[in-house]
Amino acid sequence: MAGELYRKPIMFAIVATVVILVGTIVTMFYPMFTEGMHPKLDNLKPYTALQLAGKDIYMREGCNNCHTQTVRPLKTEVMRYGEYSKAGEFAYDRPFLWGSKRTGPDLARIGGKYPDAWHYQHFENPQAFFAQSNMPKYGWLKDRKLDPAVSESHMKVNGFPYTAEDIGGLAAKSELDALVAYMQVIGTAVAKKVAPAAAAAAEERNPLEGDERAHERGEVVYKQYCDACHGDDGKGGIGPSLTDTTWLNKEGDIGDGRIYEIIANGTPNGMPPYANQLDKDKIWSLVSYIRHEQHKNK
Amino acid sequence: MHDYQYDHQTVKGFIVSSIFWGVVGIVVGLWISIQMWKPELNIPPYFTFGRMRVVHTNGLAIGLGIGAIFGISYYIVMRLARRPLLFPKLARFHLYLFNAAVALAALSLFAGMNQTLEYAELEWPLDIGVVILWVMFAVNVFGTIIKRKEEQMYISLWYIIATVIAVAILYIVNNLAVPAGMTKSYPVFAGVNSANVQWWYGHNAVGFIFTTPILAMFYYFLPKSTGLPIYSHRLSIVAFWSLVFAYLWTGAHHLVYTPLPDWIQTLAIVFTLFLIAPSWGSVVNGYYTVGSDWSKMQTNYLTKFFIMGITFYGLQTVQGPTQAIRVVSQLIHYTDWVPGHVHMGTMGWVTMTTAASIYHIIPKIYNTEIYSIKVANTHFWLVLIGQLMFSITMWITGIQQGALWKATNADGSLKYTFMEGLAKNYPFWQLRTVAGVIFTVGMLFFIYNIYMTIRKGRALAASQA
Amino acid sequence: MAEDFDNVNIEDLEAKDTARKIPLGWLILFWGLILWGIYYLAMYSPVISGWTQEKAYEESVTK
Res B450: pLDDT: 98
- Residue A246 in 3-state DSSP? strand
- B268 touches A: beta carbon within 8 Å: yes
- Residue A145 in 3-state DSSP? strand
Nearest to C10 among B152, B270, B273 (CB): B152
Number of domains in chain C: 1
Q: Under an 8 A CB cutoff, do C60 and A74 touch?
A: yes
- β-bridge mates for residue A246, sequence order: A251
- C15 touches A: beta carbon within 8 Å: no
Residues A5-56 pLDDT 10s: 999 999 999 999 999 999 999 999 999 999 999 999 999 999 999 999 999 9
Chain A residues in contact with C60 by the CB 8 A cut-off are: 74-75
Of residues A113 and B5, which shows the higher confidence score? Answer: A113
Cα separation, B233 vs C15, whole angstroms:
8
8 A C-beta contact, residue B337 and residue B295:
no
Of chain B, the percentage scoring pLDDT greater than 70 comes to 99
> CA dist A290 to A122, A225, A287, Å?
24, 13, 5
Chain C residues in contact with A75 by the CB 8 A cut-off are: 57, 60-61
The region of weakest confidence among A273-287, B358-372, C44-58 is A273-287
Residues B156-210 pLDDT 10s: 999 999 999 999 999 999 999 999 999 999 999 999 999 999 999 999 998 999 9
C36: containing domain? 8-62
8 A C-beta contact, residue B259 and residue A85:
yes
Cα separation, B59 vs A109, whole angstroms:
33
Nearest to A61 among B48, B188, B257 (CB): B48
Residues B363-397 pLDDT 10s: 999 999 999 999 999 999 999 999 999 999 999 99
- B154 touches C: beta carbon within 8 Å: yes
Distance from the Cα of B103 to chain C's closest Cα (Å) equals 33
- B403 touches C: beta carbon within 8 Å: no
Q: Under an 8 A CB cutoff, do A84 and C61 touch?
A: no
Q: Report yes or no on C32 lying in a domain.
A: yes
Residues 362-381, chain B, touching C (beta carbon < 8 A): 364-365, 367
- β-bridge mates for residue A35, sequence order: none
Q: Report yes or no on C3 lying in a domain.
A: no
CATH code of the domain in which B132 resides: 1.20.210.10
Q: Under an 8 A CB cutoff, do A84 and C57 touch?
A: yes
Q: Under an 8 A CB cutoff, do C33 and B273 touch?
A: yes
Res A203: pLDDT: 63
8 A C-beta contact, residue A144 and residue A174:
yes
pLDDT over threshold 60, residue C2: no
Mean local confidence (pLDDT), B271-277: 98
Q: Can you give the residue ranges of every domain in chain A? A: 49-185, 199-297
Q: In one letter, which amino acid is A172?
A: A
Mean local confidence (pLDDT), B428-449: 98
Q: Report yes or no on B263 lying in a domain.
A: no
From the list A271, A279, A282, A278, the residue with the least C-alpha distance to A215 is A282
Nearest CA in chain C to B412: C61
Name the band, by pLDDT with cuts 50, 70 and 90, for residue A252: confident
Residues A132-174 pLDDT 10s: 999 999 999 999 999 999 999 999 999 999 999 999 999 999 9
Q: Report yes or no on C57 lying in a domain.
A: yes
Residues 388-427, chain B, touching A (beta carbon < 8 A): 401, 405-409, 411, 413-414, 417-419, 422-423, 426
- Residue B378 in 3-state DSSP? helix
Domain A49-185 matches domain A199-297 at the CATH topology level: yes
Q: Under an 8 A CB cutoff, do B277 and C30 touch?
A: yes
Q: Under an 8 A CB cutoff, do C23 and B367 touch?
A: no
- B252 touches A: beta carbon within 8 Å: yes
Q: Under an 8 A CB cutoff, do B235 and C41 touch?
A: no
Q: Which CATH superfamily is domain A199-297 in?
A: Cytochrome c-like domain (1.10.760.10)
pLDDT over threshold 50, residue C3: no
Cα separation, B42 vs A135, whole angstroms:
9
Distance from the Cα of C58 to chain A's closest Cα (Å) equals 9
Res B1: pLDDT: 40
Write down the mean pLDDT value for chain B.
Answer: 96
Give alpha helix (H) positions in chain A. 9-24, 49-60, 75-81, 116-124, 126-129, 148-158, 164-169, 175-185, 214-225, 227-230, 256-265, 280-297
Alpha-carbon torsion A146, A148, A149, A153, what sign? positive
What is the CATH number assigned to the segment(s) A49-185?
Answer: 1.10.760.10
Nearest to B5 among C1, C22, C33 (CB): C1
B26: containing domain? 1-188
Chains touching C (at least 3 CB pairs under 8 A) are A, B
Name the band, by pLDDT with cuts 50, 70 and 90, for residue A100: very high
Alpha carbons within 13 A on the beta-carbon side of B125: 13
- B168 touches A: beta carbon within 8 Å: no
Nearest to A134 among B39, B142, B257 (CB): B39
A130, exposed or middle or buried, with CB in 10 Å at 0-12, 13-18, 19+? Answer: middle
